[in-house]
Amino acid sequence: MTQASRLKELITDRELLVMPGAFDPVSATLAELAGFTALQCSGAGISAVHLGRPDYSMLSLEDMVSCTARIVRSVSVPVMGDADTGFGNAVNAYYTVRAFEEAGAAGLNLEDQVSPKRCGHLDGKQLIDLDEAVTKIRAAADARRDPDFVINARTDALASEGMDGVIRRGNAYLEAGATMVFVEGVTSREEIREAVKGIDGPVSVNVVEGGKSPHRLTFEELQALGVARVSLPGVLLLSAMGGMRTALRRVRDEGGTSGLSDLLLPFREAHDIIGMREIERLEERYLRPLADGTRLAR
């Protein structure tokens, strides 16, 4: 079974698929170790970590694909890429799908915002017209080499066109070949219920802490509402940023690092997570030890 087939199976399964938003190999590895069965690349997280800039179409196709490829190589679970608006018109969207497939992604998000896009939980978003958006989705679907490669058609129509626009666009995207419809910026449980009822295929939402997401929305509730997949684009990035800020303030205020034990992973465990045990096994296999502890080729 391909990773794309596995991801599609998880989406169509009766159990809600929860996908944390990874932004580098370490965050992806931690999510897999925590037991999550699939991951979403967070475009906002990747832009923040690699550029120090907001989610505003500042990353190129090659930037996003190379970051995605590194994440894919670091885990064994399916990874969905973030293709923003397809990096151009329908022709660009076609080649975008090819590039993400070649990088090992199991699927991607494709948005209907005008470029430069912005975070779906911010105001001021603009959409391309429906015909252009449908053409992009059709081009993306045609580009798939693996027919199970997941195209998660994101619509930001709720803020400007209301639920009628969301449903109209969502069903048009499914008809054009999308696997799933990602309804961005939902603000209430009732909006989720309406979207699931009106869209004739799997529906995805996200939960953004501090964004427009309904307050204290649980996974159990989402499953009961009929949602197929939920992404958590901010939880890894925000927790990492919060942890680093707290650690740095303590170091500055306390004049040392001795008071950080509650924030830090043990040194050996951190190295295990990034693969040092495998390096040591390979050293034992291929290198002979010297008296000073170093090794030379056998």
Does residue 180 form part of some domain?
yes
- Contact between 41 and 7 under an 8 Å Cβ cutoff? The reply is no
The total number of structural domains in the chain stands at 2
**pLDDT, position 104:** 98
274's tokens: 């990034």
The candidate with the shortest Cα–Cα distance to 20, out of 8, 7, 34, 6, is: 34
- Confidence check: pLDDT of 296 > 70: no
pLDDT tens readout for residues 17-27: 999 999 999 99
219-244: burial string, b at 16+ Cβ within 10 Å, e else:
eeebbebebbbbbbbbbbbbebeeee
Question: What's the CA gap between 190 and 183, in Å, rounded?
Answer: 13
- Whether residues 87 and 195 fall in one domain: yes
Q: How confident is the model at residue 290 (pLDDT cuts 50, 70, 90)?
A: low
Last residue of a domain, one of 217, 233, 249: 233
96-129: burial string, b at 16+ Cβ within 10 Å, e else:
bbebbbebbbbbbbbbbbbeebbbbbeeebebbe
Does residue 14 form part of some domain?
yes
Does residue 48 form part of some domain?
yes
| Amino acid occupying residue 3 | Q
pLDDT tens readout for residues 165-216: 999 999 999 999 999 999 999 999 999 999 999 999 999 999 998 888 887 8
- Whether residues 71 and 207 fall in one domain: yes
Strand partners, 154: 111, 182
- Whether residues 30 and 164 fall in one domain: yes
- Confidence check: pLDDT of 16 > 70: yes
Q: 114 φ, ψ to 5°?
A: -70, 140
Strand partners, 41: 22
Owning domain of residue 274 = 265-297
Residue with tokens 């580009």: 143
Does residue 181 form part of some domain?
yes
Does residue 256 form part of some domain?
no
pLDDT tens readout for residues 233-288: 999 999 999 999 999 999 999 999 999 999 999 999 999 999 999 999 999 999 98
